[in-house]
Copies of this chain bind each other. A is one copy, B any other.
């Protein structure tokens, strides 16, 4: 890659794959997220558009020059990177220690919060979530199989936590209940 970029609209995934095909999505690129690394030509992950994606791209050289000349841009990039690092570490807790139901709920909470971050509303009570990912992509992000993801959605529906309209649209009846299922404590 001879450019760096920032997502404007749409969703892309960052993933790693083992030789036998097992795939882990290690990050979602949502609007405002940054892709690429100053000083490096290669992104050591697979980048794939999950929806149609519009990105704002900069050729690497001019961008690197900009970083040298404009310290506040570099500071901003550092801060964004530190946010991503923290998000990655938070997700490790989900991958390493949460159960399947907790993982699904955690993903829904994450998507709701990221969606809400673009608007001035804190998720509460009834919340609508547009799933931008297939069951398989969610599985690959959560370290599950697509069958388990599907089963957990059915289970959340049976338990009255969510409603499904079609296959990609989720209605959360009580956001706090979802947060409880996700086993999020106060920190996030």
What is the interface of chain A, defined by CB distance below 8 A to chain B? Answer: 14, 16, 18-20, 22-24, 26-27, 37-39, 44-45, 67-68, 71, 74-75, 77-79, 81-82, 84-86, 88-93, 95-98, 140, 142-143, 183, 185, 187
Chain B residues near A143 (CB-CB < 8 A): 95-97
Q: Is the CB of A92 within 8 A of B88?
A: yes
Closest chain B CB from A21 CB (angstroms): 10
Q: When the two chains form the complex, which single residue of B82, B95, B98 contacts A92, counting CB atoms closer than 8 Å?
A: B95
Contact present for A81 and B85 (CB under 8 Å) = yes
Taking a contact as CB atoms under 8 Å apart, the answer to whether A24 and B92 are in contact is yes
How far is it, in angstroms, between the C-alpha of A38 and the C-alpha of B85 when the chains are bound? 14
Which chain B residues border A140 with CB–CB below 8 Å? 96
**CA distance in complex: A19, B186 (Å):** 10
Q: Out of B18, B81, B183, name the residue touching A185 (CB < 8 Å).
A: B18
B90 touches A88 (CB 8 A): no
- Number of this chain's copies in the assembly equals 2
* Interface SS of chain A: helix
In chain B, what residue has the closest Cβ to A74?
B74
Q: How far is the CB of A92 from chain B (nearest CB, A)?
A: 5
Interchain CB contact under 8 A, A18 and B93 = yes
Q: In the assembled complex, which residues on chain B have CB atoms less than 8 Å from the CB atom of A92?
A: 16, 24, 26, 88, 91-92, 95
For A67, the chain B residues whose CB sits under 8 A away are: 75
**Chain B residues with Cβ under 8 A from A93's Cβ?**
16, 18, 24, 26
Q: Give complex CA distance A37, B86 in Å.
A: 11
6 contacts between A and B (CB under 8 A): A16-B187, A26-B92, A68-B71, A71-B74, A81-B82, A95-B143
Nearest B residue to A92 by beta-carbon distance?
B26
The CA of A86 and the CA of B16, in the complex, are separated in Å by: 11
Closest 3 CB pairs of A and B: A96-B143, A26-B89, A95-B95
